[in-house]
Structure 1
Amino acid sequence: MWGTKTPQEVKDKIAEQTAHMKAVEPKNLEEQAIKLIGPDIYEKLIKGYTEKQWGRSATDLPPFIIKRLPVRLTFDNNYFNDRYQGIPIGGYNVIIENMLKDVEVELGLDFFANRQELEASAEKVVFTGMIDQYFDYKHGELEYRSLRFDHEVLDEENYQGNAVVNYTEREIPYTRIIEHKHFEYGTQDKTVITREYPADWKRGDEPYYPINDERNNALFAKYQEEAARNDKVIFCGRLADYKYYDMHVVIERALEVVAEELGQ
């Protein structure tokens, strides 16, 4: 992009492009991104993808979102910096099935349609759904982003050579294509791909991402106060905490909640 050939040249270029932001405390995602990587990389890789994913201008998004993106001057194409990375053998379905052995599970049950019966059936209830819905939206509706997934079975062994490929262009409507076999190095004759499309959320849709801007965070604080007064219900998870969690963080959060509840 700049005609650079070495990591040091890239580092120098980024330093040159971010120098004016050193003393700036970013107020939004755009400023945070430019402070981290400069305007060129931001415009080419971040801006279109981010605004496509969140459905709003990068100047209207909080700065902390961009802090999740690692910046490296190496050929390491891993998304995360964690020393250990992996997924359960056989996928998360298998680990959940093993965790739920000998546990009575009822599927397809609407919590809110059966709320009184369910809450009366236990001393404590763990609620991982939308916290605003739990309190009947009494303070107003929190905002979320949703997703749409299009699945396709292809009569070829290998479609893209990698488990996940992200599409940063604003003009392409999906954010990424997932080729599932590559998570476990599959050798099947065919392959399954999934295109992931960001979508606006409305009641009845599946909520995926909390939108932690100033307005929503202030509204969530009111629901937190309601939750703190409810000793019977344990609120946790991405929707009840109204917070984006990576998988390892949500597992850690679950263990912390259990430790707090059991006093360990």
Structure 2
Amino acid sequence: MKYDYLIVGTGLYGAVFAHEAKAAGKTVMMIDKRPNIAGNVYTKKVEGIHVHEYGAHIFHTNNEAVWQYVNRFATFNRFTNSPVANYKGELYSLPFNMYTFNKMWGVVTPQEAAAKIEAQRKEAGITEPKNLEEQAISLVGTDIYEKLIKGYTEKQWGRPCTELPAFIIKRLPVRLTFDNNYFNALHQGIPIGGYTRMVENMIADVDRIELNTDYLENREAFNAMADQVIYTGPIDAYFDYKLGHLEYRSVRFETELLDSDNFQGNAAVNYTDAETPWTRIIEHKWFEFGKDEKGQDLPKTVISREYSSEWQPGDEPYYPVNDDKNSALYKQYKALGDNEDHVVFGGRLGEYKYYDMDAVIASALDQAKQIIQ
């Protein structure tokens, strides 16, 4: 059978496109080299806990159309992302807010906090921030930079903060209020029953799904099976890295099932000192308030320690390194991709772009609207 669309990758981009294609009466085949659907949002049930296998995913959006769309496939809970920072045993509230400033300096009013930040900014003598370190100090002062930003960021990116671009930290929320909701999003939550179930609902009508299947190992045969290919893998891999490798940061997870009902009391705790090798610990049960789908308390817990590393071929690529060198290389690959008439490149890896989940969905919906006739 020849299909209208072959979709390479069953993550959010591929799943949304597949759903839209099927809704338009098209035939769709999906393949994924992993043994599971749902890409990086895949959740696996362990002792009643939906474990985020490829890192924490918290859905948040101000896009009303996207919010209405995802609610067709899942009911979302009211989870609010309020991480905690652990600096050598000292605990601080994130994002930076009045709780953080009170713990750091003993200040009580927003005016006192603002004055403390301004004094440290002046002392550092920064007028035009040239790198991440200078940008961070100008936003929150030296003390918070040294304790809560420097070690964590350098572990995450594998580079000194003085060598990282300032824009990385510009989106960091800093609040002179007691609001510790990390996201400034109207809608936020976790799909009840996990992301895998949500993606299953999106692709329930797809004609054929093949897992443990690598498109690039047999692309000519796969291309012959469909009129058009939607490719969500790495764009440089598609072209056999002939212009060189795009760079990524990768993440390694150490996940444990513990015979305890509570390890850290919060979904996410960031370890911000340089000496602790992991960047954060996720305790998955707290994404759903420590209860199963029937509202019963869960007697065990699952934690994941996250270790950030430089991507090497064979590793899972997570975060594009969108510096000048890599952006220039991606433009060359994109030009090659634009000449592939039968292939559409989409998603985080296909477009070499850091995408929040709502932006991935919006992009897939927009692409589907443009090309599905």
**TM-score, L = length of structure 1:** 0.93
CA distance in structure 2 between the aligned counterparts of 1:37 and 1:93, rounded to whole angstroms: 38
Residues 10-159 of structure 1 mapped to structure 2, 5 A cutoff: 10-18=113-121, 20-22=125-127, 24=128, 26-103=129-206, 104-159=208-263
CA distance in structure 1 between the aligned counterparts of 2:266 and 2:204, rounded to whole angstroms: 33
| Cα distance, 1:82 vs structure 2 | 0.8
**Runs of 5+ in structure 1 lacking a partner?**
none
Q: Which residue of 1 aligns with 2:344?
A: 234
In structure 2, do the counterparts of structure 1 residues 106 and 56 end up closer, same or farther at CA, with 3 Å as the change threshold?
A: same
- Aligned residue for 2:317, secondary structure, equals coil
CA distance in structure 2 between the aligned counterparts of 1:68 and 1:92, rounded to whole angstroms: 26
Stretch of structure 1 that moved more, 50-59 or 245-254: 245-254
| Cα distance, 1:15 vs structure 2 | 2.7
CA distance in structure 1 between the aligned counterparts of 2:335 and 2:130, rounded to whole angstroms: 26
What letter corresponds to residue 11 of structure 1 in structure 2? A
CA distance in structure 2 between the aligned counterparts of 1:256 and 1:64, rounded to whole angstroms: 27
| Cα distance, 1:11 vs structure 2 | 1.4
Give CA deviations for 1:186-222 in whole Å, capped at 9, x if unaligned.
2211111111111221111111111111111111111
Q: Which residue of 1 aligns with 2:353?
A: 243
CA distance in structure 2 between the aligned counterparts of 1:124 and 1:60, rounded to whole angstroms: 42
Q: Which residue of 2 aligns with 1:253?
A: 363
Q: Which residue of 2 aligns with 1:208?
A: 318
What letter corresponds to residue 238 of structure 2 in structure 1? Y
What letter corresponds to residue 73 of structure 1 in structure 2? L
| Cα distance, 1:45 vs structure 2 | 0.8
Give CA deviations for 1:113-161 in whole Å, capped at 9, x if unaligned.
1111112211221111111111111111111111111111111111111
How many residue pairs match? The answer is 261
Q: Which residue of 2 aligns with 1:170?
A: 274
CA distance in structure 2 between the aligned counterparts of 1:254 and 1:163, rounded to whole angstroms: 29
Give CA deviations for 1:217-264 in whole Å, capped at 9, x if unaligned.
11111111111222211111111111111222222222222223248x
What letter corresponds to residue 307 of structure 2 in structure 1? Y
What letter corresponds to residue 72 of structure 1 in structure 2? R
CA distance in structure 2 between the aligned counterparts of 1:215 and 1:74, rounded to whole angstroms: 39
CA distance in structure 2 between the aligned counterparts of 1:113 and 1:17, rounded to whole angstroms: 56
CA distance in structure 2 between the aligned counterparts of 1:228 and 1:27, rounded to whole angstroms: 34
Aligned 8 A contact 1:146 1:206 in 2: yes
Which of 287, 298, 303 is matched with 1:193 structurally? Answer: 303
What letter corresponds to residue 321 of structure 2 in structure 1? I
Q: Which residue of 1 aligns with 2:12?
A: none
| Cα distance, 1:52 vs structure 2 | 0.1
Matched, 1:9 2:115: no
Q: Which residue of 2 aligns with 1:161?
A: 265
Higher relative contact order (Cα pairs below 8 Å, separated by 6+ residues) = 2
Which structure is higher in strand share? Answer: 2
| Cα distance, 1:16 vs structure 2 | 3.1
Sequence identity, in percent? Answer: 60
**Runs of 5+ in structure 2 lacking a partner?**
1-103, 292-296
- Aligned residue for 1:34, secondary structure, equals helix
Aligned 8 A contact 1:62 1:212 in 2: no
- Aligned residue for 2:188, secondary structure, equals coil
Could you say what the CA RMSD is over the residues aligned between the two structures, in angstroms? 1.6
**TM-score, L = length of structure 2:** 0.67
In structure 2, do the counterparts of structure 1 residues 28 and 122 end up closer, same or farther at CA, with 3 Å as the change threshold?
A: farther
CA distance in structure 2 between the aligned counterparts of 1:203 and 1:181, rounded to whole angstroms: 33
